[in-house]
């Protein structure tokens, strides 16, 4: 049974710090701070997935616009509320979760799914999540810290590959290219009517892969982020990653490595429209795979809601959690319709609430409006798409590494001394999670229909951690589960 609920009160009770309506100027300023804190994380997922799908720059920019628009819309629903079923009505920012990246990359590489299959899986998972929202707090017992810590560590470790590939200029198969001199010899032989040289073409090092000047810029971005994190105070420290990306882009532009011609050519205003990439296709395994991601995401959101409620001085009841989690599901449905991805609450913005001391949910409503406006200004998305990969690589090492560090922090609080079984749970779940990373073709003889599941280290880690914990430890009490969720507020975004 869930812990005893606080006395029932009207969700629109007398004004408190959470419901305080600040002057318009202050709302805009504080809302913009929240936008800047989450911006780098918000645009990362559409950049990762868009480039994995090999979409042209204009379509990647369209994904970014859709993401910003939906971030804003779902943030408004979460913070302001929609009727009596949706919205926790706390200062919460919503964005695309990193937890969804691994299965979506697997879907992107499956020719039977592709981009429409991804959006279909997102919509399907959103519908299921919406229906499951009232029951999620009852399955917290399946996700103690030994499970959530292992899963979040795997999320971060899996994403580190993306950060490294960004920094060096692409995946490892780009390290070698056919020797251009051989191609020239072949063409000369054809022109002369002579015998063609024996192939295949010899492979040589790709001069664009891991180029030292590009790596130097990635390192520069990393150094800027570290300096901002160490010497910045308050809000400045919270935008360290964004500051590093801006500084790296300026340096790359000065060196002639980036062009903003497409930004100038982009429209000034454009509505975000549904199904820009075609009608979604629905695959049962892909939907169930994404639903597993959403379960992990909603467990994270539950812990964040409980911790945020304590921070702002508002008791969080069972129906509050259900309303907040319904927005995770509704936001994911909206995301799939408008060509973007699964949504969750961003924990770094919770940190900003602590830094500023401003607890008003209207600040996040204002931030949501700002994001909606940004989403209909294509030049903003095109500018984000124009940022070179190696600049993003320096920032990605920090963003994704911090996700892994969060998992490690949670695992550091697990009892290994009095419960030796926890070591087996961590060891094996992380081991299973690493399978797609270290042996990409390990599932080549397994059913192709399971590809999106078998190639997602995050889901393999989640399933194995839950099952191993049940085998070794059984179910924790509801009181223990709620306390653990509150104490281990974290984010895989």
d(CA 412, CA 149): 9
d(CA 475, CA 484): 13
- The maximal CA–CA distance of the chain, rounded, in angstroms, is 91
> Are 109 and 270 a contacting pair, CB within 8 Å?
no
Q: What is the pLDDT of residues 309-334, one digit of tens each?
A: 888 888 888 899 999 999 999 999 99
Q: What's the Rg (C-alpha) of the chain?
A: 23
Burial letters 440-468, b for 16+ CB under 10 A, else e: eeebeeeeeeebbbbbbbbbbbbbbbbeb
pLDDT for 488: 67
Q: Which of 14-18, 139-143, 408-412, 474-478 has the weakest average pLDDT? A: 14-18
Q: Which of 115-119, 204-208, 353-357, 462-466 has the weakest average pLDDT? A: 353-357
Is residue 34 pLDDT above 90, yes or no? yes
pLDDT for 491: 58
420: exposed, middle or buried (Cβ count in 10 Å: 0-12, 13-18, 19+): exposed
The token pair at 482 is 């709620």
> Nearest to residue 46, comparing CAs of 132, 115, 130, 120?
115
The token pair at 149 is 């810590």
d(CA 407, CA 412): 9
Q: What is the pLDDT of residues 138-169, one digit of tens each?
A: 788 888 999 999 999 999 999 999 999 999 98
pLDDT for 236: 87
pLDDT for 14: 41
Residues whose CB falls within 8 Å of the CB of residue 373, separated by 6 or more in sequence, listed in order: 72
pLDDT for 181: 87
What is the band of 467 on the pLDDT scale with cuts at 50, 70, 90?
very high
> Are 49 and 108 a contacting pair, CB within 8 Å?
yes
Supply the angle between the helices 145-168 and 389-412 in degrees, to the nearest 10: 160
Name the residue with tokens 């695992």.
411
Name the residue with tokens 């606080």.
6
d(CA 267, CA 283): 35
Element (H or E) spanning 204, and its range? strand 203-205
pLDDT for 3: 46
What is the band of 15 on the pLDDT scale with cuts at 50, 70, 90?
low
Is residue 38 pLDDT above 50, yes or no? yes
pLDDT for 489: 61
What values do phi and psi take at 206, rounded to 5? -75, 115
The token pair at 325 is 């989690």
Residues whose CB falls within 8 Å of the CB of residue 93, separated by 6 or more in sequence, listed in order: 34, 37, 38, 71, 75, 345, 346, 349, 364, 367, 368
pLDDT for 1: 42
- Residue 329: CA atoms inside 13 Å, Cβ hemisphere, count? 25
Is residue 493 pLDDT above 80, yes or no? no
Query: Is the bond into 20 cis (omega within 30 degrees of 0)?
Result: no
Give percent of the chain with pLDDT exceeding 90. Answer: 67
Q: What is the pLDDT of residues 39-64, one digit of tens each?
A: 999 999 999 999 889 999 999 999 99
> Are 322 and 83 a contacting pair, CB within 8 Å?
no
Mean of the per-residue pLDDT values of the chain: 90
């Amino acid at each position: 049974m869930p812990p005893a609920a606080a006395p029932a009160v009207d969700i629109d009770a007398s004004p408190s710090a959470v419901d305080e309506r600040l002057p318009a100027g202050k709302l805009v300023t504080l809302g913009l701070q929240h936008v800047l804190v989450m911006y780098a994380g918000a645009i990362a997922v559409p950049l990762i997935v868009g480039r994995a799908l090999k979409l042209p720059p204009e379509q990647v920019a369209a994904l970014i616009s859709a993401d910003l628009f939906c971030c804003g819309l779902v943030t408004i629903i979460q913070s302001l509320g929609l009727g009596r079923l949706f919205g926790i009505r706390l200062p919460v920012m919503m964005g695309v979760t990193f937890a969804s990246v691994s299965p979506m990359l697997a879907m992107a590489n499956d020719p039977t799914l592709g981009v429409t299959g991804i959006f279909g899986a997102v919509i399907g998972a959103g519908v299921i999540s919406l229906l499951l929202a009232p029951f999620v707090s009852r399955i917290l017992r399946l996700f103690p810290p030994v499970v959530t810590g292992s899963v979040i560590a795997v999320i971060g470790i899996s994403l580190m590959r993306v950060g490294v590939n960004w920094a060096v200029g692409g995946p490892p198969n780009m390290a070698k290219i056919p020797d251009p001199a051989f191609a020239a010899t072949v063409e000369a032989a054809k022109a002369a009517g002579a015998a063609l040289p024996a192939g295949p073409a010899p492979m040589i090092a790709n001069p664009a892969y891991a180029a030292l000047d590009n790596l130097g810029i990635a390192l520069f971005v990393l150094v800027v982020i570290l300096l901002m994190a160490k010497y910045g105070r308050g809000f400045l420290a919270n935008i360290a990653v964004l500051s590093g990306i801006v500084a790296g882009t300026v340096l790359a532009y000065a060196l002639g490595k980036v062009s903003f011609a497409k930004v100038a050519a982009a429209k000034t205003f454009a509505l975000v429209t549904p199904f820009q990439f075609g009608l979604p296709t629905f695959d049962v395994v892909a939907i169930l795979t994404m639903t597993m991601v959403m379960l992990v995401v909603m467990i994270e959101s539950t812990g964040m809601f409980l911790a945020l409620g304590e921070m702002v001085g508002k008791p969080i009841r069972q129906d509050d959690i259900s309303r907040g989690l319904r927005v995770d599901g509704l936001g994911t449905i909206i995301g799939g319709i408008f060509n973007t991805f699964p949504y969750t609450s961003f924990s770094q913005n919770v940190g900003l609430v602590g830094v500023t001391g401003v607890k008003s949910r209207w600040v996040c409503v204002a931030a949501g409006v700002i994001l909606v406006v940004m989403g209909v200004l294509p030049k903003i998305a095109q500018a984000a798409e124009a940022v070179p990969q190696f600049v993003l690589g320096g920032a990605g090492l920090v963003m994704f590494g911090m996700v892994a560090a969060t998992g490690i922090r949670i695992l550091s609080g697990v009892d290994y001394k009095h419960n030796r079984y926890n070591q087996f749970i961590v060891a094996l779940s992380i081991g299973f999670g690493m399978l797609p990373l270290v042996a990409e073709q390990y599932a080549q003889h397994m059913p192709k229909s399971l590809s999106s599941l078998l190639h997602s280290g995050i889901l393999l880690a989640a399933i194995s951690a839950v099952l191993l914990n049940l085998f070794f430890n059984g179910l924790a009490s509801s009181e223990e589960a709620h306390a653990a969720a509150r104490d281990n507020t974290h984010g895989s975004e």
